[in-house]
Chain A
Amino acid sequence: MAVSGTQNSLPFTVEFKESLFKIPEGENIQACLQCACCSGVCPFGFAMDFPPGRMIAWMRAGILDEMLESDSVWMCVSCYACTEVCPKEIPITLALMTRAKEEALLAGNVPAELQSALEFSQQYSNPLGESSRKRAAWTEELDFEIPVMRKAKRPVDVLWFVGDYASYHPRVKNVTIAFATLLNILGIDFGILGPDEHSDGDSQRLAGERGLFEMLAEKNAKIISRCEFSEIITTDPHAYNAFKNEYPKLGFDFPVRHYTEFLVDHLDNITPLFKKNGKAKVAYHDPCYLGRVNKIYDAPRQLIQAIPGLELIEMAHNKSTSLCCGGGGGGMWLDGFRWEKSESRLSEWRVKEAAAVKADILAVACPYEPPRFEDAVKAITGAEELQVKDIVELIVDAIGN
């Protein structure tokens, strides 16, 4: 029996359809041609009971209730590949897939791993279940101080929103420390929120927990409004997406840039610092939420090309066709589930592509990616020598600190 998320007494399918129209351009769904481009391009479409196209067909037939009993919606990685190819410009990811996950969640249909991540996000403001008080513990590894806004009580030029994995995950912390080091070298006046920073909540939103996202956004907005700064920069495309596209819908408007855009502005100051660097072929992986969703393709490439010795090469899928690493849409917390359903890992597919173009380095710009791709490297024969590095790490390595 389908359990409706609202107190409406309409049949589920009707109510679901109507809710889609409330999302900007959601009504385009009425123009669906059933061309199946979405289901075809979906990296996990083959493992879904209800890939996007079929979901729309059943919705039209008024029998979508069955979808609530299926757990296949959790295969969606929210990568926007479907949205990108839809000839009728239906916002499939944002409207259809995310709404479907919201309904599944309300019906109590949520895999256990995801459940913990969501509960941790609520209790600890991060999905990893780490103490929120220790969010800035990584700064102890630096030999310079970073102002934490609450204590510093002064304006800064740049407010750096660090992010969950960047704060706590042992591998991703290296990227965070590299970026802090770079900002310090460049003499940028920056500060962080430290323990007052809450998860941006964007992946939790895409995993169907809109209420949790709003709660976290409210908390972040409250803290940030008390700070004085010219702009927010972030090393996390998901946080970037949240601040740029979702927070304004809640009335929270802050200027934000991704670190790649920021650093491109400072290239004139960075380039003189580069020392002689070894030669390497670098394949750049466009993260879904930087590339396809927010159309930032060039800034990261500019940075790589500025580093001496590095030759930028492209993989078979790139820019708007880039392959998702599998971390989105709650994917960081659904690996076991997705492996069991599909017996494949998107990160491994991507690593194979990098190996196929004989890349020495797979360059990334999103905190989900270093651990995911490094795990995949271990599993793919022919990729054993492949290094995974965030662009920041490449820059700092070339400066030779």
Chain B
Amino acid sequence: MTQDIFLLIEHIQGQVSDISYIMAAAARELAKHEGGNVIGILFGSSSEGLKDSLAVDKVIYCDHPALTEFTSDAYKRTLISLLEEYSPRAILFGNTTLGAGVSSSLSSHLKFPVINSCIKVSDSGSIISQICGGKIMVECQLGDKTTVITVNPGGYKPEEGQSGSSPETINFSAPDLENLKVQLTQYIEPEAGDVDISQEKILIAIGRGIQTEDNIELADELAKLLGGAVCASRPVIDQGWLSSSRLVGKSGKKVKPDLYLCLGISGATEHIEAITDSKTIIAVNSDPDAPIFDIAQYGIEVDLFDFIDPLLEQIENAKND
């Protein structure tokens, strides 16, 4: 086993995901303690260029048509084959729709220890993870064998994992990728013609606390007054009260507004990770222990419904002055 830290670079439709850079930052920290290199794993088809600007020392690149886009079977097979040749200290995956499944499959197959939901590496080189909706922290040591680690956003910013130079490529030949059991037929984009919340400067976000579909009109009014748009966390979208294009969260959009005013959102990790680039977060929630208050700049602990009408009135007056 070497002391190198590997990470699986994630890309979707030609775009490298932010998590890849976040992992690079985490890997660099870990490598400082373990003493090895940071090596990115890149699978694709004519995708070598995607390695650029990743702050890794080298990239192991495997080119094959079946690897053009992520599919779990092709990636798993290629990773297993790669790990027959390489034996890193640890291998990082995003805790995402790409990385989460394949990391666990790999750990089971190769009997590698696995740690979930890492957000950062501590000063002593241990892995700090966050579980139970952000309410519990876990500190772990790497196992005796190559340790699989899934990484969440929250500890490092993508900028910390970027670099100006392009890392050197080591080529790797794909194993047999015939008769794959998982095929990607097509991507389906969300309904066009709707607001792109990832581009909006002012967002009014609603969560479970909005309680009924009917109450969404309160958020609409607020959004209109402030010149923004309404978005939501998962529970609202699951009810079908807003289109999925309005979902903010791990499976939805990442947003970077100037103002993120959230109403009745508790602050589950999957939601928080998508709003950390907001300039100002203001949270309204009647639960003083809601995790959202840990990342908001301002917090308001009132019953949402008692608060909205006075707020609308005051804003209206302030605008007219």
Question: Does residue B107 face the partner (Cβ distance < 8 Å to A)?
Answer: no
List the A side residues contacting B213 at CB < 8 Å: 336, 340
| B214 at interface by CB-CB < 8 Å | yes
Verify B214–A340 contact, CB threshold 8 A. Answer: yes
Verify if B239 is at the interface (C-beta below 8 Å from A).
yes
Q: Please indicate the chain B residues that have their CB under 8 angstroms from the CB of A375 in the complex.
A: 305-306
Interface residues on B, range: 10 to 19
Whether A337 pairs with B212 at a CB distance below 8 angstroms is yes
Evaluate contact between B309 and A336: CB separation under 8 angstroms: no
Is the Cβ of B286 less than 8 Å from the Cβ of A113? no
Which residues in chain B, 294-308, are within 8 Å of chain A measured between CB atoms? 303, 305-306
Question: Contact: B303 with A335, CB < 8 Å?
Answer: no
A170 near B303 (CB under 8 angstroms)?
yes
Note all chain A residues with C-beta closer than 8 A to B214.
Answer: 335-337, 339-340
- Assess whether B212 is in contact with A378, with CB atoms less than 8 Å apart: no
Per-position contact with B for A250-282: 1 when CB-CB < 8 Å, else 0?
000000000000000000000000000000000
Chain A proximity of B135: nearest CB distance (Å): 13
> Any chain B CB within 8 A of the CB of A171?
yes
Inter-chain residue pair count (beta carbon < 8 A): 23
Query: Once the chains bind, are B305 and A113 in contact (CB under 8 Å)?
Result: no
Residue-wise interface mask of B (114-129) relative to A, using a CB-CB cutoff of 8 A (1 in contact, 0 not): 0000000000000000
With contact pairs A113-B211, A336-B212, A375-B305 given, residues A170 and B286 touching in the complex (Cβ less than 8 Å): yes
Q: Does the CB pair A336–B215 fall under 8 Å? A: yes
Q: B212 to chain A: which residues have CB within 8 Å?
A: 113, 335-337
Residue of B nearest to A379 (CB): B309
Distance between A67 CB and nearest chain B CB, rounded to angstroms? 24
- Cβ proximity bits B195-225 to A, threshold 8 Å, 1 near / 0 not: 0000000000000000111110000000000
Q: Give the CA-CA distance A335 to B213 in the complex, in Å.
A: 10
In the complex, what distance in Å separates the CA atom of A113 from the CA atom of B215? 12
Determine how close the nearest CB of chain B comes to the CB of A374; give it in whole angstroms: 8
In the complex, A336→B214 CA distance in Å? 5
What's the least CB distance linking B302 to chain A, in Å? 8
Residue on A with the closest CB to B301? A170
Residues of B within 8 A of A152 (CB): none
Q: Given the complex of chains A and B, what is the CA–CA distance between A374 and B309 in angstroms?
A: 12
Residues of B within 8 A of A337 (CB): 212, 214
Tell whether A112 is near chain B: CB-to-CB under 8 Å: yes
Q: Provide the bound-state CA to CA distance between A175 and B305, in Å.
A: 19
A33 to chain B, nearest CB (A): 37
Chain B residues, CB < 8 A from A112: 239
Per-residue contact bits, chain A 170-201, to B (CB 8 Å; 1 contact, 0 not): 11000000000000000000000000000000
* Shortest distance between the CB of B111 and any CB in chain A (Å): 38
With the chains together, A170 CA to B301 CA distance in Å?
Answer: 11
Specify which chain B residues have a CB less than 8 angstroms from the CB of A374 in the assembled complex: 306
Contact mask A63-85 → B, CB, 8 Å, 1/0?
00000000000000000000000
Alpha-carbon distance between A58 and B268 when the two chains are bound, in angstroms: 49
Closest chain-B Cβ to A130's Cβ sits at a distance in Å of: 9
Give A384 Cβ to nearest chain B Cβ, in Å.
12
B-chain residues with CB within 8 Å of residue A113 when the two chains form the complex:
211-212
Chain A positions 339-396 with a Cβ under 8 Å from a chain B Cβ:
339-340, 374-375, 378
Contacts of A170 in B (CB 8 A): 286, 303
Q: How far is the CA of A182 from the CA of B214 in the complex (A)?
A: 39
Cβ contacts under 8 Å, B309 to chain A: 378
Interfacial residues of chain B within 121-159, with CB under 8 A of chain A in the complex: none
- Docked pose: A234 CA to B309 CA in angstroms: 33
Which of A300-354 touch B at CB < 8 Å?
A: 335-337, 339-340
User: Which residues on the A side are within 8 Å of B286 (C-beta)?
Assistant: 170
A contact residues around B239 at 8 Å (CB)? 112
A130's nearest neighbour on chain B, judged by CB, is B287
Whether A336 lies near B211 (C-beta < 8 A) is: yes
The smallest C-beta distance from B294 to any residue of chain A, in angstroms, reads 19
Contacting residue for B303 out of A171, A336, A378, CB 8 A? A171
Chain B residue numbers with a CB within 8 Å of A378 are 309
Bound-state Cα–Cα, A112 to B309, Å: 25
Nearest CB in chain A to that of B313: its residue: A378
Chain A residues with CB under 8 A of B303: 170-171
CB distance from A23 to the nearest CB of B (A): 32
How long is the Cα–Cα vector from A112 to B210 in the complex, in angstroms?
13
CB distance from A340 to the nearest CB of B (A): 6
- Bound-state Cα–Cα, A112 to B212, Å: 9
Chain B: CB-nearest residue to A335: B212
- Distance in angstroms between the alpha carbons of A339 and B215 in the assembled complex: 10
For the complex, what is the distance from the CA of A378 to the CA of B218, rounded to whole Å?
14
The 9 closest A-B pairs by CB, nearest first: A336-B212, A336-B214, A339-B214, A113-B212, A378-B309, A336-B213, A112-B239, A170-B303, A340-B214
What would be 22 A-B contacts, judged by CB atoms less than 8 Å apart? A112-B239, A113-B211, A113-B212, A170-B286, A170-B303, A171-B303, A171-B306, A335-B212, A335-B214, A336-B211, A336-B212, A336-B213, A336-B214, A336-B215, A337-B212, A337-B214, A340-B213, A340-B214, A374-B306, A375-B305, A375-B306, A378-B309
Chain B residues in the interface with A (C-beta under 8 A): 211-215, 239, 286, 303, 305-306, 309
Beyond A113-B212, A337-B214, 9 additional pairs, beta carbon < 8 A? A171-B306, A335-B214, A336-B212, A336-B213, A336-B215, A337-B212, A339-B214, A340-B213, A378-B309
